[in-house]
Structure 1
Amino acid sequence: MAGVGENDQTMQAARPEIYLNGHFMPPQEGKVSVMDRGFLFGDGVYEVIPCYGGRLFRLEHHLQRLDNSLHAIRMQNPLDRAQWQAILQRLIGQLPGADQSIYLQITRGSTGKRDHAIPTGIAPTVFVMTQPAVYPDAAALATGIKAVTLEDNRWLRCDIKAITLLANVLLRGEAMEHGAAEAILVRNGYATEGATSNLFIVLAGEIITPPKSDHLLPGITRDLVLELAQQHALPCSEKEISQQMLDSADEIWVTSSTKEVMAVVELDGRAVGNGTPGPIYTRMAGFYGEHKALLQAGRILS
């Protein structure tokens, strides 16, 4: 498989197109109005879809989450499933068989003026691009990462995959200032998720992740980890994780489309477990890797 550098060179040579409002074009030709509500208000939603070996990862799950986010902000999906499939297949076809990351964004569009009132009857702005996949650092996967706990000071609709990510950016930035790779967010005494990830702990042999709610993003990778745990008879449940449970956890993991499954080995300067990725994490990372390899080889559909 080509490395990221090789993919970058291929991408540049192919002059990859983007999709914008019904047209495919070189990225430098894409233009969006400065009056677009995404630019003025952050009024829009997005998705990030991994593509392994030219095969989209859990496309139906991602498109359903996109529909849910659009519904939550009082928008309709401007494209149907067949249209999305056609757009995405054309874009990923620019790097045949390569691992990629698809980014798509829909904003409410522009009325030509700045007004907080939600307008009706305007065309949304639809943007899609692809780029070579960037995998989690191999050393971090092998040794784990550091994290810190921070107050979850975001808004109350974190289940919407909104483009307004400033709070997440600041929280992740604060974690990095503490020498950590991720922030584990705590609201009213309970851990919700990471600044850029979903959260799992292992406590007394059980895999636990917070239940879906308005306070966290319903992660696609999160759901797959739960499915894999069930398939391999690993005890797992969805229940609230108190600060005490977090502090007592034998293992802590974070998951996302870009992080995949990653162990947290230090939290707030204290070792998690024995300070190395735990045995249940090692098994789950193996199961996830096997699932990914089957998708790359075309032996499963998503």
Structure 2
Amino acid sequence: MPVTDAAIPVTDSGYRRSDVTYDVVGVWQGAFFRLDDHINRFRTSMNSLRMTPPESDAQIKAILNRLVAMACLREAYVAMDCLRAAPPPGKTRHPSNCRSYLSCYAIPWVSVATPEMFARGLHLIIPKARRIPTESVDPTVKNFHWGDFTRGLIEAEDTGADYPVLLDFDDNVTEGSGFNVFCIIDGKVICPARGALEGVTRASVLEMCAELGIPTEVRDIHADEFRDSDEIFASTTAGGIMPASRIDGRIMNNDRPGPISARLKDLFWAKRAEGWHATSVDYSVATTGDSAP
């Protein structure tokens, strides 16, 4: 159905309690990027939350492929959600009483960063809002608990910045609102060890750094160290690699993307164009009607 016609009941736990996990995979030039990695992460998240929809991983892949093919999209943002429904009559709203089901859609490609942001670099802030503790919500399970990010986005808007990067309660950097973050210090690319989603694009950055011989480190990054770093960039499915040029008003690299960040961004898209980690969309299913392997 058209995405504008899709709906979930307002009584479902997915809506009433944000009892949802999800994943998003990108399609570029007619091919999914790291589809198996996204499906594996989605399944891991569902298992963590004890969600058991009837579809197998192969069937989920086929559903996503069919959505892209039916929409005739060459560049797409493809979402897979798993939600819990309302309990049957007479049952309590305990998760074990609510069935799990999928809701998937494909829409034209969207990006976290606008063309202007890519050209000048993201303007970031570290807001007062803190990341929800990992003891409360596991950040490696992709979720809809965005209360902390929403507060951060409001703070960013009030200061004229584009996006927030949230700290944990030990003043270490975690992640931004929908993206992983990296900083570069003395030529080394560093990303947080805790409190963030284990991003698929994040993994791609580490692979590219190994290919280029750029040293990397995964460790805690204190806020002061992050603010004083040589370069900062973000990574996400919806945008790829997005260099920053400002953090809390501090201008880096003459108010433009830094050289290592820009190099990684350009390499990322060059490798995508060459078919790196690509799974071609089978557009024939839009006419044959096949929806399962």
Contact 1:50 1:257 in 2 (8 A): yes
Distance 1:286 1:31 in 2: 38
Could you list the per-position Cα deviations for residues 95-120 of structure 1 after superposition, in whole angstroms to 9, with x for gaps in the alignment? 44610011121112221469452224
Distance 1:80 1:128 in 2: 14
Query: Residue 221 of structure 1: which of 201, 224, 227 is its match?
Result: 201
Where does residue 251 of structure 1 map in the other structure? 231
What is the correspondence of 1:160-171 to structure 2 with a 5 Å cutoff?
A: 160-171=141-152
Distance 1:172 1:119 in 2: 34
Where does residue 210 of structure 1 map in the other structure? 192
- Give the TM-score normalised by structure 2: 0.86
| Structure with larger RCO (C-alpha < 8 A, sep 6+) | 2
Where does residue 267 of structure 1 map in the other structure? 247
Where does residue 59 of structure 2 map in the other structure? 83
Distance 1:43 1:96 in 2: 31
Query: Residue 265 of structure 2: which of 285, 289, 295 is its match?
Result: 285
1:109 aligns with 2:85: yes
Could you list the per-position Cα deviations for residues 146-198 of structure 1 after superposition, in whole angstroms to 9, with x for gaps in the alignment? 11102424242222211232322221222122111111111212111112210
Contact 1:294 1:300 in 2 (8 A): no
Instruction: Judge which range, 265-274 or 227-236, deviates more.
Output: 265-274
Distance 1:281 1:29 in 2: 40
Could you list the per-position Cα deviations for residues 237-266 of structure 1 after superposition, in whole angstroms to 9, with x for gaps in the alignment? 211111221122000001111131111111
Distance 1:198 1:233 in 2: 21
Q: Relative to 1, partners in 2 of residues 1:300 and 1:266: Cα closer, same or farther, differing over 3 Å?
A: closer
Contact 2:73 2:108 in 1 (8 A): no
1:152 aligns with 2:127: no
Distance 1:285 1:31 in 2: 36
Where does residue 278 of structure 2 map in the other structure? 301
Contact 1:229 1:235 in 2 (8 A): yes
Q: Relative to 1, partners in 2 of residues 1:155 and 1:116: Cα closer, same or farther, differing over 3 Å?
A: farther
What is the correspondence of 1:1-302 to structure 2 with a 5 Å cutoff?
A: 17=1, 26-27=2-3, 30-96=6-72, 98-112=74-88, 115-120=92-97, 122-135=98-111, 136-150=113-127, 151-156=129-134, 157-187=138-168, 188-211=170-193, 213=194, 215-295=195-275, 301-302=278-279
Contact 1:110 1:124 in 2 (8 A): no
Instruction: Judge which range, 161-170 or 81-90, deviates more.
Output: 161-170
Distance 2:40 2:73 in 1: 25
- Unpaired runs of at least 5, structure 2: 280-293
Q: Matched residue of 1:199: which SS?
A: strand
Shift of 1:76: 2.9
Distance 2:73 2:104 in 1: 19
Shift of 1:27: 4.0
Tell me which amino acid in the other structure corresponds to 2:230: D
Shift of 1:280: 0.6
Instruction: Judge which range, 86-95 or 147-156, deviates more.
Output: 147-156
- Unpaired runs of at least 5, structure 1: 1-16, 18-25
Could you say what the CA RMSD is over the residues aligned between the two structures, in angstroms? 2.0
Distance 1:292 1:265 in 2: 25
Contact 2:34 2:277 in 1 (8 A): no
- Identity rate, percent: 24
Tell me which amino acid in the other structure corresponds to 2:50: R
Distance 1:277 1:99 in 2: 25
Could you list the per-position Cα deviations for residues 184-241 of structure 1 after superposition, in whole angstroms to 9, with x for gaps in the alignment? 1112121111122101000011000112x4x211111111111111111111121111
Distance 1:62 1:175 in 2: 29
Contact 1:147 1:182 in 2 (8 A): yes
Contact 1:36 1:110 in 2 (8 A): yes
